[in-house]
Amino acid sequence: MNTPIWDERDWRPLPQLTGTVRADVCVVGLGGSGLAALEELAALGVTAIGVDAGEVGGGAAGRNGGFVLAGLAKFFNETVAEHGETAAAALYRMTAREIERWAEEMPAVVRITGSLRIAADAAELADCQKHLAALRYCGFTAEPYRGPEGEGLLLPTDGVMQPLERVRALAQRLRQREALLYENSPVRKIVPGVVVTDGGTVQCDSVIVAVDGRLDEILPELSGRIRTARLQMLATAPAPEVGFTRPVYYRHGYEYWQQLPNGSIALGGFRDHALQQEWTADAEPTEFIQGLLEQFLRERLKVTAPITHRWAASVGYTSDGLPILDEVQPKLWAVGGYNGTGNIVGALCARAAARLACGQRSPWADALELARTHRVKVH
């Protein structure tokens, strides 16, 4: 138990860091975000070293639902209401572009299928209409939807991916470009210019910590702004009895599922049914949430195929609903806190941190700052 359905192939472990190494930048965390930072740093011609406590994609990045969604975790109409139309539209546009880029870059791993937001009740259906109106007003594509899944919205530019395959492919690509990546090298201490792991030390000019859940364990100064939660999923053997052609987001996104190319169902959700227990850094599945997922799978989705996988992982939620992209100490950047939807947003935050660490501007960081300032002014 606690193995994601995505772990299909063997992975040749990367070395552990030993001794002292030097680079311009050290990236802590080899999930989708840390690897995106390393890609950006390579493009900027900067030397970088990446370290991870476990394996590449061993955190949420390789254990998630595989949805690639435009926008922040909050739906677009809520983002407009809280953070202003200019910032919301700029952020949405950049996430949609990132999805296109991913699908072009790795078409076998990332597919643009569109996604469905399905309402659980009349109040949510009314919110779907507001969501649709806000997207269309800002020039984004969305359609009302009614089908076997229920009623709501179709967002044609969203997609799905095999998340673990993608991060492993990114790591391999970086290694082919001679990037130094180390697994099983937990960071114990970060002081300006030095990152200390169990087996070795990185000397560097800047550090980027790209960790979503448990970020506050590495950087306790963020503990008032980010909280770690557990999210849980299960998956089945191929289920020819159902046919979901698009990933589905249900009940404000609390439940989410997709049918994989081989017919298996990957389903997650119900965190809010045990909210206190799920605010935890423990990443083991629980009987209670797994029971709810199983009931939903059988009764709502009508899937009869056997359950083959159950798993969980940690993510970070922020108090203002915006991701963290901060220089927490001079030359020490932190990114994380994607509020449950970090595949695309995490990569954009990490690439922005890489640019900022190199003294470059970042349109993503500018738009996030605009969103943050708007919220502070209004609330």
Ligand X SMILES: Cc1cc2nc3c(=O)[nH]c(=O)nc-3n(C[C@H](O)[C@H](O)[C@H](O)COP(=O)(O)OP(=O)(O)OC[C@H]3O[C@@H](n4cnc5c(N)ncnc54)[C@H](O)[C@@H]3O)c2cc1C
> Can you give the binding site for ligand X, defined by CB under 6 A?
28-34, 51-54, 58-61, 63-67, 69, 186-187, 210-214, 218, 231, 233, 268, 313, 315, 336, 338, 340-344, 346
What minimum distance in Å lies between the beta carbon of 52 and ligand X? Answer: 5
Beta-carbon count within 10 A of 348 CB: 27
The smaller minimum CB distance to ligand X, of residues 30 and 103, is found at 30
Q: What is the dihedral of CA 315, 318, 324, 326, to 10 degrees?
A: -130
Cβ-contact 135, 76 below 8 angstroms: yes
What minimum distance in Å lies between the beta carbon of 203 and ligand X? Answer: 17
What minimum distance in Å lies between the beta carbon of 368 and ligand X? Answer: 15
Cβ-contact 230, 130 below 8 angstroms: no
Q: Which helix (H) or strand (E) holds 98?
A: helix 85-105
Q: What are phi and psi of 67, to 5 degrees?
A: -80, 135
The smaller minimum CB distance to ligand X, of residues 34 and 84, is found at 34
Q: Strand 159-161 vs strand 110-112: parallel, antiparallel, or unpaired?
A: antiparallel
The smaller minimum CB distance to ligand X, of residues 314 and 374, is found at 314
By the 10 Å C-beta count (0-12 exposed, 13-18 middle, 19+ buried), 262 is classed as: exposed
The smaller minimum CB distance to ligand X, of residues 14 and 374, is found at 14
What minimum distance in Å lies between the beta carbon of 341 and ligand X? Answer: 4
Q: Which two tokens stand for residue 148?
A: 């076997």
What minimum distance in Å lies between the beta carbon of 48 and ligand X? Answer: 15
What minimum distance in Å lies between the beta carbon of 198 and ligand X? Answer: 9
The smaller minimum CB distance to ligand X, of residues 187 and 332, is found at 187
- Give the CA count within 13 Å in the CB-facing half-sphere of 326: 17
Give the residue ranges of DSSP H helices in the chain.
32-43, 76-83, 85-105, 122-137, 163-176, 215-218, 275-278, 287-299, 343-357, 363-378
Distance CA 283, CA 81 (A): 33
What minimum distance in Å lies between the beta carbon of 11 and ligand X? Answer: 13
The smaller minimum CB distance to ligand X, of residues 168 and 374, is found at 168
What minimum distance in Å lies between the beta carbon of 275 and ligand X? Answer: 16
Q: What angle do CA 283, 216, 227 make, to 5 degrees?
A: 60
What minimum distance in Å lies between the beta carbon of 211 and ligand X? Answer: 4
What minimum distance in Å lies between the beta carbon of 335 and ligand X? Answer: 7
The smaller minimum CB distance to ligand X, of residues 66 and 114, is found at 66
The smaller minimum CB distance to ligand X, of residues 153 and 211, is found at 211
Percentages of the chain per state (helix, strand, coil), in multiples of 5? 35, 30, 35
* Cα separations in angstroms, 56 against 29, 32, 84: 8, 9, 36
Sequence-distant (≥ 6) Cβ neighbours of residue 107 within 8 angstroms: none
The smaller minimum CB distance to ligand X, of residues 84 and 342, is found at 342
Sequence-distant (≥ 6) Cβ neighbours of residue 373 within 8 angstroms: none
The smaller minimum CB distance to ligand X, of residues 80 and 99, is found at 99
Q: Which of 150, 153, 151, 128 is nearest to 142 (CA)?
A: 153
